[in-house]
Amino acid sequence: MKLHNGSLYWPTTLDTPVATNTAKIAPHYDVIVVGGGMSGALTAYTLAKEGMTVAVIDKRAMAHGSSSANTGLLQYANDIMLHELIAQIGEQDAVNFYRECQQAVQQLHDVARTLPIDPHFIMRKSICYASDDSHVAKVQKEYETLRQYGFAADYWDANDVAKHMPFTKPAALVTYGDAEVNPYRFVHGIFYKLAQEGVHLFEGVEALQTESSSQGVELTTSIGSFYASSVVYATGYDSNPMQSYVGSDINRSYAIATAPIADLSQWEDRAMIWETKRPYFYMRTTVDHRIIAGGLDEDSPEAPHDEAWIADRGKRIVEELQRLFPSLSLTIDYAWGASFGESVDNLPFIGRHPDKPHLYYLFGYGGNGTVYSMIGATLLRDELLGQPRHDLACIDLNRNYAKHS
């Protein structure tokens, strides 16, 4: 499955991708991670930090799947607002999940500080504006809910929005403790560090099948068999052994990166910006003064192949961006379309296979994939260390789906 098409921006920001190990397959690993993107990188990093012997395999080059098309917005707020999630899964589970997301952003920051490649990780606030007057009550409700449970947030009315930004909207919710990152440099930084520390990395290696036994797993691949105590599938939006089981849906979206802009001073604090309608329009800035913006989600699992189609979507995105920032001179340097995964209940899929005790899965489906990947890496670490947590059953593979009840 081809996960993206068009011209990608992030790969242009790193001249020399990480060199993978030339190691032979070891006789046995504690854990094999299938997937060399964000989820796989964070899982391998977290497990190796505990002293486990780890191998990572990917049928592509590392960070060349969805991670190279990721727009790098890291937010604890989810595609489903907290007050909506409370109504869906209950107060305790919903608030706990939001707190896990908030903590995960800080954990990602801690990881970034250890890397030999600067991932351009910058803490930011987020501004979520009401797309129209009918969404004002929703924004007010979310503001009150966040404050009730201890999350820092501000509410802006229309006058506040006009005072802070060069556009007008009926209301906005401002949240704090989010971040932006260059996901391509972040993943390569992790793998560069792991390679130096002896983790085995295998590019161009396809996982074919697993056979479980009481002693562990035999993973058959395109270059031979690997043996491990456990296998973690972190294959992102690509094909995975659980697709017939989990309540997932693969769609596609579009993004652009503008040419560098001389003056972004009208963009308050370079906050990350998104909106309340679904699918939503979103935007952020980069360290070289570009704007990355995206949206226009489509109900199709295939990444778009038609360059003219991608160019048209890019034009529509920049037109929307121009409406918000009318005084900026905007030119598209890069435009791409990519597949992304969603779930029927807006939550990721993380945990042990319900029937195969040595197999684990981390699928960060939803708008917060990187944040979910960090949560998943720590949950799987605890599980593999024999210290399973039971406070996040809402993201378990075997959960019930609220929208299907």
Question: What's the pLDDT score for residue 284?
Answer: 99
Flag whether 210 is in a domain: yes
Query: How many whole angstroms separate alpha carbon 145 and alpha carbon 201?
Result: 44
Tokens of 80: 């489903």
Q: What is the pTM of this model?
A: 0.94
pLDDT confidence of 403, banded at 50, 70, 90?
A: very low
Query: Do both 281 and 136 map to the same domain?
Result: yes
Domain boundary among 321, 343, 365: 343
Regarding whether 339 and 191 lie in a shared domain, the answer is no
Report if residue 191 sits inside a domain: yes
Lowest mean pLDDT among 66-70, 166-170, 232-236, 300-304: 300-304
Q: What is the model's pLDDT at position 402?
A: 38
Both tokens assigned to 67 = 């991670």
Same domain? 260 vs 334: yes
Question: What's the domain range around 333?
Answer: 123-177+247-343
Assess if residue 197 is contained within a domain: yes
pLDDT digits (tens, 9 = 90+) for 9-43: 999 999 876 656 667 999 999 999 999 999 999 99
Residues 172 and 201 in one domain: no
Q: What is the mean pLDDT of the chain?
A: 91
Judged against a pLDDT cut of 50, whether residue 6 lies above it is answered with yes
Q: Is residue 88 part of a domain?
A: no
Q: What share of the chain is helix, strand, coil (3-state, %, to 5)?
A: 30, 30, 40
When pLDDT is cut at 50, 70 and 90, the band that residue 404 belongs to is very low
State which of 300, 320, 343 marks the end of a domain: 343
- CA-CA distance, 359 to 321, in Å (whole number)? 44
CB 66 within 8 A of CB 252: no
151 φ, ψ to 5°? -90, 130
pLDDT of residue 65: 85
Residue 387 lies in a domain: yes
Q: How many domains does the chain have?
A: 2
CATH number of domain containing 287: 3.30.9.10
3-class DSSP state for residue 77? Answer: coil
